[in-house]
Amino acid sequence: MTKPVQVKPVKAYTVATNDPEESTIQFATTNVAARRQGADAIGADFTWVSCKRAPWADQYAGSFIPAQAYIENGWQIGCTNCSRMVSDEHHALGSDGYETDELLTPVFDGDRVFCDASCKDDHEKEVAARNAKFEDFKKAVAAAQPGLTFKDFTGGYPWCGNRATFTFPGAQYGGSVSEKENSTTLEWYVANGDREAWDAFQAQRAA
Ligand SMILES: [Zn+2]
């Protein structure tokens, strides 16, 4: 007969340094394990972090902690759009950029928080714009160099720039093309070992 294995429940712990921005919630079966995980996550020495139970977060073991739960439990989190710290005690900014008497009306979205609805709006516009630029990039590279075989495309939100790798007839290593965040200039790169093959390919294409 095998004995049933006693599985220790995973619990939530707050691991912190003296910098409140470095605090982290860790899930572990013991305080010492949580402390070690937290120290690793923060990048601090084990002896420099404190570790205490955070029972409110126990229910989120194995998933993510909603931003709203953090804030209701006295944490502050940066707005996904503007990075401003958001908490139950933060005040809205007036049109002059100074804090008003009004408290923020944060908008929660899973593990993300926005200062208010307009910050969420701005963020969504930015995501849409970056994704649209990525789609334009895909068309532009194909139009600029027909005959290349494009392999991996990297871009769109959350990336700032866009990039693709490619190969072409006669190439051993291939190359890449990229464009920066605020530019639509295509920057082409071909591996040194493929220079000759590239020149031959371009000459043939121009012929
Ligand atoms: Zn914001």
Domain ranges of the chain: 8-62, 66-115, 129-206
Residue 42 parent element (H or E): helix 31-42
Distance 34 CA to ligand 1 centre (A): 31
Helical segments of 43-170, H only: 67-72, 117-144
The reported pLDDT for the residue numbered 68 is 95
**CA of residue 80 to ligand 1 center, whole Å:** 7
pLDDT value for 178: 97
Residues of the chain with pLDDT under 50: none
Distance CA 73, CA 89 (A): 12
pLDDT, position 207:
78
Closest C-alpha among 179, 176, 190, 195 to residue 140: 179
- How many angstroms separate the CA atoms of 159 and 178, rounded? 12
The rounded Å distance from CA 27 to ligand 1 centre is: 29
> Distance, CA 127 to ligand 1 centroid (Å)?
15
User: Which pLDDT score, from 0 to 100, does residue 130 have?
Assistant: 96
Token match 């969420």: residue? Answer: 120
Residue 166: closest CA among 204, 131, 201: 201
Alpha-carbon span 99 to 25, nearest angstrom:
29
Report the alpha-carbon distance of residue 58 to residue 28 in Å, rounded: 10
| Å from CA of 115 to ligand 1 middle | 4
Distance 48 CA to ligand 1 centre (A): 32
Can you say how many angstroms the Cα of residue 88 is from the centroid of all Cα atoms in its chain?
24
* Class of residue 73 by CB neighbours under 10 A (exposed 0-12, middle 13-18, buried 19+): middle
State residue 107's pLDDT score. 95
79 CA distance to ligand 1 middle (Å): 5
Phi, psi of 80 (to 5 degrees): -60, -30
Pull the structure tokens for residue 29: 């079966």
- Which helix (H) or strand (E) element contains residue 103? strand 99-103
Task: Provide the terminal-to-terminal Cα distance of the chain, rounded to the nearest Å.
Answer: 80
Q: What is the pTM of this model?
A: 0.75
- Tell me the CA–centroid distance for residue 37 and ligand 1, in Å: 30
Q: How far apart are CA 7 and CA 118, in angstroms?
A: 46
Give the position of tokens 């920066």.
Answer: 180
Rounded Cα distance between 152 and 155, Å, is 10
Q: What is the 75 CA–ligand 1 centroid distance (Å)?
A: 16
What is the Å distance from ligand 1's center to 134 Cα?
25
